Structure 1
Amino acid sequence: MNMWLLKTFAPWLLLLAFLGQQVSLSCGARNKKRGQDQAVTTTAPGREQSSGDKPAASGRGKFTIEDTMQCTWSSRNAGSIVRLSVKCEDREAHVKGGVTHLQCHYTGKPQSCPGYLSNTKGFWKQVGRALKRHQRKVCVDGRALLKASMCRRASRDSNFKLDINSSVSFAQSGEPEASKPPRPVAIAGPTAGPTAGPTTACTARANHRKTAEENCSGSWVSVCSFLLSMLQSDDC
């Protein structure tokens, strides 16, 4: 009897064991796939957010101011804004005099410009051209904004504005001329004046004699000459 029962139910027991194993494997595979889907779902928003909030790529370049002052500029992230630094040097001013060094910072939020997000390299090229156009306004005029043409319709804060407190300039008066030897100063001797005195006095007396002969007649010539001589303070 026992043998008959064993032969009868043994296949069914094996079938149930096989089905139980298949169900267990199917549930495990389903749970694993569900976990992968959850991981993809949680990481996808993060990726979208990072692509939407694109970090500012650094730009750099060179330009000149009136063909004498050589300038360089570079940009970097500074929190929620982008800082653009400008440094200039005029080597000729060290000799001729004038502004020798110039440096300052501009700040802006180019992330608010759609053109910056789609074409960052082109954006920085346009900023470099704006610096060249500004010339003597660079690091001086706080009202002049650095604008990229692709951001004309963007908000105002997408442009770069001068931080006037960061503007610093250094000037030099030029190299001093070679010192020249002092000129000798002539010192008059104590006898220089009286030496010429007698000649002048005698000439003046001769003139008085001539004046008397012209204005006095006859016997009065001597009297007139004497009176004129009395008025003269120098003696021969």
Structure 2
Amino acid sequence: MARRAEVCDCVISSDNLVKKMQLLRTFAPWLLLAFLGQQVSLSSSVRNKNRRTDRTATQAPGGAQRSESKSAATGRGKFLIKTKKMQCTWGAEDVGDRVRLNIKCENPEARVKGGTTDLECQYNGKPERCPGYQSDPNGFWKQVARTFKRLQAKVCIDERALVRAGMCKRAPRDAHFKLDIRSSVAAGQSGGESEGYQPPPPRPTSSAPAGPTACRGREQQKKKAEENCGRWASVCTFFFSMLQSEDC
């Protein structure tokens, strides 16, 4: 009886094992599909993150350009040229790879009493080559406004006087604003002198004296020959001309 019981237990356990194997074979493909699906979803999420990163990187230069143009647009101000009693305004604008400062000055009093009534000019520079222009644009333009107040009578007149911001002392020369002397225009009223750019006067050229000069050397030689040589005067004149030659 004991042996029969053992045999029955072995048969039952083998049947259970067969059933488990059948279940495993049935669910194995489904488990594999679930695993593969999870891997696909993970890889797609990683790709989406990379695409977002790339879009952000490509949009960054455009954002920088917008910030630069905004920095240039905020540059404007007023100052007074005391010696000329001129009220001036200036404003910045982007022109290609440069920033241009447009200066306009006027003297209302000169319209009545005479003198220079209007003065206009332009300054050009590349302030983006100065780190301070990007990090602190408001501070940059405040320093530019102070420079205009210091230049006074040199504004729109002296092309050697650069408009510098204090924070850009170590920046390249083209980072500062330089006067375009061709853009300097001044207008006067009632005989007032125009104080815009005046080209230097032409240098005087040496000219030869008009008309031929009298050749006195030959006349003197002829007189000496007639006094000393008599009828041989022509021969003496020839020798005198050889010894004392003069260009007439």
Query: Shorter-chain TM-score: which interval?
Result: 0.5 to 0.7
Out of 45, 57, 72, the position equivalent to 1:33 is: 45
What is residue 61 of structure 1 aligned with on the other side?
77
User: Would you identify which runs of 4 or more consecutive aligned residues in structure 1 move more than 6 Å?
Assistant: 6-9
CA distance, structure 1, for counterparts of residue 26 and residue 191 of structure 2: 106
What is residue 118 of structure 1 aligned with on the other side?
135
**SS of aligned partner of 1:55:** helix
Out of 138, 141, 146, the position equivalent to 2:158 is: 141
CA distance, structure 2, for counterparts of residue 174 and residue 95 of structure 1: 11
Deviates more, 1:137-146 or 1:47-56: 47-56
Contact 1:94 1:174 (C-alpha < 8 Å) held by counterparts: no
What is residue 103 of structure 1 aligned with on the other side?
120
What is residue 93 of structure 1 aligned with on the other side?
110
| Stretches of structure 2 lacking an aligned partner (at least 5 in a row) | 1-17, 193-248
What is residue 201 of structure 1 aligned with on the other side?
none
Contact 1:81 1:107 (C-alpha < 8 Å) held by counterparts: yes
TM-score of the superposed pair, with normalisation by structure 1: 0.64
Deviation of 1:174 (Å): 6.7
Give deviations 1:159-196, integer Å, cap 9, x for gaps: 10001111111111179xxxxxxxxxxxxxxxxxxxxx
Aligned-pair identity (%): 44
CA distance, structure 2, for counterparts of residue 20 and residue 51 of structure 1: 47
CA distance, structure 2, for counterparts of residue 88 and residue 109 of structure 1: 24
Deviation of 1:29 (Å): 1.1
**SS of aligned partner of 2:103:** strand
* Counterpart AA for 1:37: K
Deviates more, 1:11-20 or 1:26-35: 11-20
* Counterpart AA for 1:103: E
**SS of aligned partner of 1:139:** coil
CA distance, structure 1, for counterparts of residue 64 and residue 79 of structure 2: 32
| Pair 1:22-2:39 in alignment | no
CA distance, structure 2, for counterparts of residue 166 and residue 100 of structure 1: 17
CA distance, structure 2, for counterparts of residue 39 and residue 31 of structure 1: 13
What is residue 190 of structure 2 aligned with on the other side?
173
Deviates more, 1:60-69 or 1:35-44: 35-44
Contact 1:107 1:162 (C-alpha < 8 Å) held by counterparts: yes
Deviation of 1:45 (Å): 3.7
Give deviations 1:45-89, integer Å, cap 9, x for gaps: 435545776514021111111172111111011111111111111
Name the Cα RMSD after superposition.
Answer: 2.6
Contact 1:87 1:102 (C-alpha < 8 Å) held by counterparts: yes
